[in-house]
Amino acid sequence: MNPFTGRLTFLGTGTGVPSKDRASPACLLELPAARLLIDLGPGSLRQLARVSLAVTDIDGLLLTHLHPDHSADLAPLLFAGKYPPSMASGKILHLAAGEGFRVFYEKLKDLYGSWIEWPPGRLQLHLRPQDRLFEQEFLSLHLASRPVAHTKVSLGFRLTLPSGKTLVFSGDTDYCTSLVELADRADWFVCECSFPEGRKMEGHLTPSGAGRIAREAGVGTLILTHFYPECAGQDLLGPCSREFDGPLVLAEDLMTILL
Ligand SMILES: [Zn+2]
Ligand SMILES: [Zn+2]
């Protein structure tokens, strides 16, 4: 049997619109040396519990941006971490986000005070420039980020795994060359696909837009996620595959991909 090199689980493939079929955005990346979450929408901690993991099992958290559908479970995560058995674990959480996160975090602390504040050193912030490519070692990964076309503080992430394989997360975005460059020849490209063809909204993608980025970047496998309810019952594969002829996956909640 091959040694375990990594596993990606989609905890939530929806948006901020409550849905019985899709939880809000969050992905769980499990590697031999660390477990990471990418985004943390409302209900993500419950989704994490559904795969039998607790807050103390997580080593790293990456936030693409601060819209509530991607960040709302941060305060509950910090609060759950204050639960005495969790605190007693001594776990350190590494959090990577754009520099704008600092103000967001200070305001959360103003609001919740000691309910969410962890002892010094237990929450380590790795804040990243929001206007350019930035690369840094993060846990057992090489982590690159670039601004993407959504909000002023939105980042796409490129993770180079210890195996050498690469995994890119678009976060929420519109078409932009910055994302094409970030996703360059990535093995897996997890890309938002908010709306079906013909119903595009500014700051988001439709299947053909996601496919265009995947084609221009020359990625291996394209995985679409972040589906608004308007996507239900629509043909997403057709318009996307006319742009990108490689392997294409529509993510579902709790779907797992071996990396
Ligand atoms: Zn979103
Ligand atoms: Zn957003």
| C-alpha 154 – ligand 2 centre gap (Å) | 8
| C-alpha 232 – ligand 1 centre gap (Å) | 17
CA separation for the pair 13, 72 (Å, rounded): 15
| C-alpha 67 – ligand 2 centre gap (Å) | 5
| C-alpha 150 – ligand 1 centre gap (Å) | 9
Q: Which ligand is nearest to the CA of 16?
A: 1
Q: Strands 166-169 and 155-160, how do they pair?
A: antiparallel
Please give the backbone phi and psi of residue 36, each rounded to the nearest 5 degrees, phi first.
-130, 150
Percent pLDDT > 90 in the chain is: 96
Check whether 4 has a pLDDT greater than 90. Answer: no
The structural domains of the chain, ordered by start, are 7-254 (3.60.15.10)
Percent pLDDT > 70 in the chain is: 100
Q: Strands 7-12 and 256-258, how do they pair?
A: antiparallel
> Which residue is listed with tokens 């394989």?
165
Q: Which ligand is nearest to the CA of 67?
A: 2
Report, as an integer, the average pLDDT of 106-117. Answer: 97
Q: Which two tokens stand for residue 176?
A: 């932009």
**Higher-confidence position of 2 and 189:** 189
CA separation for the pair 218, 51 (Å, rounded): 32
| C-alpha 3 – ligand 1 centre gap (Å) | 34
Q: Which ligand is nearest to the CA of 148?
A: 2
pLDDT band at 3 (very low <50, low <70, confident <90, very high): confident
> Which residue is listed with tokens 């559908």?
69
In this prediction the pTM is: 0.97
pLDDT band at 140 (very low <50, low <70, confident <90, very high): confident
DSSP string, 112-130: HGGGTPPPTTSEEEEEE-S
Q: Which ligand is nearest to the CA of 24?
A: 1
The pLDDT, as a whole number, for residue 228 is 98
pLDDT band at 1 (very low <50, low <70, confident <90, very high): low
| C-alpha 180 – ligand 1 centre gap (Å) | 19
Report, as an integer, the average pLDDT of 187-197. Answer: 98
- Mean pLDDT value across the chain: 97
Model confidence over 199-244: pLDDT tens digits? 999 999 999 999 999 999 999 999 999 999 999 999 999 999 999 9
